[in-house]
Amino acid sequence: MSEEMAHETAVGIHDLSFATTEFVLPHTVLAAHNGTDPAKYHHGIGQRSMSVPAADEDIVTMAAAAAAPVVRRHGTDGIRTVVLATESSIDQAKSAGVYVHSLLGLGSATRVVELKQACYAATAGLQFALGLVRSDPAQRVLVIASDVSKYELDSPGEATQGAAAVAMLIAADPALLTIEEPSGLFTADVMDFWRPNYREAALVDGQESIGAYLLAVQGSWKDYTEQGGRDLDEFAAFCYHQPFTKMAYKAHRQLLNYCGHGVDEDRVTRDLGLTTAYNNVIGNSYTASVYLALAALLDQADDLGGRPVGFLSYGSGSVAEFFAGTVVPGYRDHLRTAAHRAAVDRRTPVDHARYRALHQYSFPADGGDHITPAETTGPFRLAALRGHKRIYETS
């Protein structure tokens, strides 16, 4: 790390909180329906269950639920920007973040914007936030990643579905993680995963997507090293985007091979083993995934204070970024481990018929008055659709 990097103002993640859904579908239930060995899911893709939204839950309710504890702890002073990253947007014009801004009671002197680039967008939001805080260290920026991953029923991607939101407060002198420069960047025009405006469920070419991800790992790491980044051996752990948790392992093996290290499975486990605990029971949360990996690492690891962590953020289509952060000494005093585990444990298991009904639930598009069934026990809910307007309330 250069001397110039060491003398910059420390900016990074001051607080992190996540939320997920009311319901969960165990992969044993999906396997029984499909007549499949559960090992196909548990070991083949590294998934054990998937979060399933209630009828009155969406990216707004999850985002607000994730961010509310951050606002309660730190207040609203200095939060002049809210960035919401999603690839399961509810509106082609209005940012979902504006609804969240209202539910959280943030002040009117705030800029709010929604970002999109598949699963990568939250990292773009993080980088934008870092720039704002570096230019004015008195500011704090709320970055929220919120997504519902949805594929066609009985499709190959069905078992990787999930839903969650992660809220991060970006500030100077952060309590959790200082984000470093440089970043390694990579973009390639690839049709590995996409969702046209006329579709609710995404389209995916599974093998193309795996290949595009692995190419992006190499490309972003190559740029990172050329920009003067850390050596591979310096990192205590690596947080990868996890469309399914075994993909992180594929990606890390690719990185080790690319760097001429060969694949040492003990090293792979050491580097990644603690980062999959939330993703493997929540499922793919798109933009939130890599930051759920960070939450899992911080909530479980022995003291990482002062040690660097590598991040590989990937979004299909495709854009990737490799960057580093150093864990702040004393970070454990600021974690939300009990709340995070409670968010996972509170979910109610559903049978396959109930899951399918929730998957197929949607509002009519006639502009009428449509009341949403009251199902969530979370703090916010989508109450109705009236005149094409989404109505949210505190539950």
In 3-state terms, what secondary structure has residue 307? coil
33 catalytic residue (yes or no): no
What is d(CA 20, CA 149) in angstroms, rounded to the nearest whole number? 12
8 catalytic residue (yes or no): no
Q: Give every CB contact of residue 272 below 8 A, 6+ residues apart in sequence.
A: 237, 238, 240, 248, 249, 252
**Residue 377 CB neighbour total at 10 angstroms:** 11
Residue corresponding to tokens 């070419």: 205
Side-by-side strand order, sheet with 380-386: 369-371, 380-386, 389-394
241 catalytic residue (yes or no): yes
**Residue 206 CB neighbour total at 10 angstroms:** 14
Residue in 14, 27, 101, 119 annotated catalytic: 119
What's the token pair of residue 304? 């990482």
Closest C-alpha to 354, from 373, 327, 380: 373
Half-sphere exposure of 319 (CA within 13 A, CB side): 11
Residue in 14, 22, 27, 87 annotated catalytic: 87
In 3-state terms, what secondary structure has residue 271? helix
Question: Which amino acid would we find at residue 42?
Answer: H
Label the pairing between strands 11-19 and 140-149. unpaired
Closest C-alpha to 147, from 251, 244, 57: 57
| Segment (H or E) for 194 | strand 193-194
Sort residue 69 into left (φ over 0), alpha (ψ -120 to 50) or beta: alpha
Closest C-alpha to 103, from 395, 318, 393: 393
**Residue 183 CB neighbour total at 10 angstroms:** 20
Residue in 27, 101, 241, 359 annotated catalytic: 241
What is d(CA 383, CA 386) in angstroms, rounded to the nearest whole number? 10
Which residues are designated catalytic? Answer: 87, 119, 241
